[in-house]
């Protein structure tokens, strides 16, 4: 049976290293997982913007009294306005094995999203979204395209409706592929953009401390421990800007 980790809800802004423990979903000698807030980039940011990578390194340096550079492997990422589970590796061996799991699609990623739509539009209870998408050259966005378009890659997502409200639907999304902005593009294509995703036609949504946010939450991540190989499921509590299911 998979291990379950359900910590308290996250803080609304990047804490000092000693206060980051409330964000941690899982920690051992090989892995470190956080509940990333919306508005925080995962890695490699412009000057002055918070990055979860830096927060994680500062935590390890402070908590374990490490000096010099702290190793941190990054096998996957979340978009800046997306909240939820982010997994890091604490050793090169763990990083290589986790990267292999993500590459070979052995990791189960479950997202939840609030979709906005006209009152007369109703999604089927379950569906599989299959499209071809590509990154727009020289722009930080993707687009849906024909299969034979240069750079086109197939995107597949399993969708299940969780809750229906007038003009809003809460869905569970399980991507089988990992393309740029995959879930956001596929929802927009079907006339049901994610709430807050103004890049792809959604209405605006304000996250913590006025940071950009969309109602897309990486709710859980299931993977094999890179050393012990036992299954682990990490579950991220909902952020304040994301209404939980009733």
Give the active site residues: 79
- Please state, in angstroms and rounded to a whole number, the distance separating the CA atoms of residues 142 and 136: 5
Which two structure tokens, joined as six digits, stand for 154? 């197939």
Is residue 195 within 8 Å of 181, Cβ to Cβ?
no
Is residue 23 within 8 Å of 15, Cβ to Cβ?
yes
DSSP string, 48-80: TS-BHHHHHHHHHHHHTT--SPPP-B------T
- What pairs with residue 126 in β-bridges? 160
- What pairs with residue 156 in β-bridges? 130
- Please state, in angstroms and rounded to a whole number, the distance separating the CA atoms of residues 199 and 26: 32
Which two structure tokens, joined as six digits, stand for 65? 């009294």
Is residue 222 within 8 Å of 232, Cβ to Cβ?
yes
DSSP assigned state of 140 = S
The continuous run of DSSP H or E covering 86 comes out as: strand 83-89
Cβ of 116: how many Cβ atoms within 10 Å?
21
């Amino acid at each position: 049976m998979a291990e379950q980790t359900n910590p308290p809800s996250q803080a609304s802004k990047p804490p000092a290293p000693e206060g980051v423990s409330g964000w941690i979903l899982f920690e051992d000698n090989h892995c470190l997982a956080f509940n990333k807030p919306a508005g925080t980039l995962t890695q490699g940011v412009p000057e002055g913007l918070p990055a979860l990578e830096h927060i994680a390194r500062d935590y390890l340096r402070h908590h374990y009294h490490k000096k010099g550079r702290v190793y941190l492997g990054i096998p996957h990422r979340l978009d800046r306005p997306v909240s939820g589970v982010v997994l890091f590796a604490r050793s090169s061996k763990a990083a290589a094995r986790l990267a292999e799991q993500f590459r070979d699609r052995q990791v189960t990623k479950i997202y939840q999203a609030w979709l906005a739509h006209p009152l007369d539009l109703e999604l089927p209870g379950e569906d599989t979204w299959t499209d071809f998408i590509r990154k727009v050259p020289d722009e930080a966005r993707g687009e849906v395209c024909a299969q034979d378009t240069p750079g086109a890659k197939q995107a597949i997502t399993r969708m299940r409706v969780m809750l229906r409200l007038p003009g809003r639907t809460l869905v569970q999304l399980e991507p089988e592929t990992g393309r740029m902005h995959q879930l956001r593009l596929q929802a927009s294509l079907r006339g049901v953009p994610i709430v807050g995703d103004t890049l792809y036609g959604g209405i605006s949504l304000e996250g913590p401390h006025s940071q950009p946010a969309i109602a897309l939450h990486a709710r859980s991540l299931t993977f094999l421990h890179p050393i012990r190989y036992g299954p682990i499921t990490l579950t991220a509590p909902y952020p304040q800007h994301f209404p939980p299911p009733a």
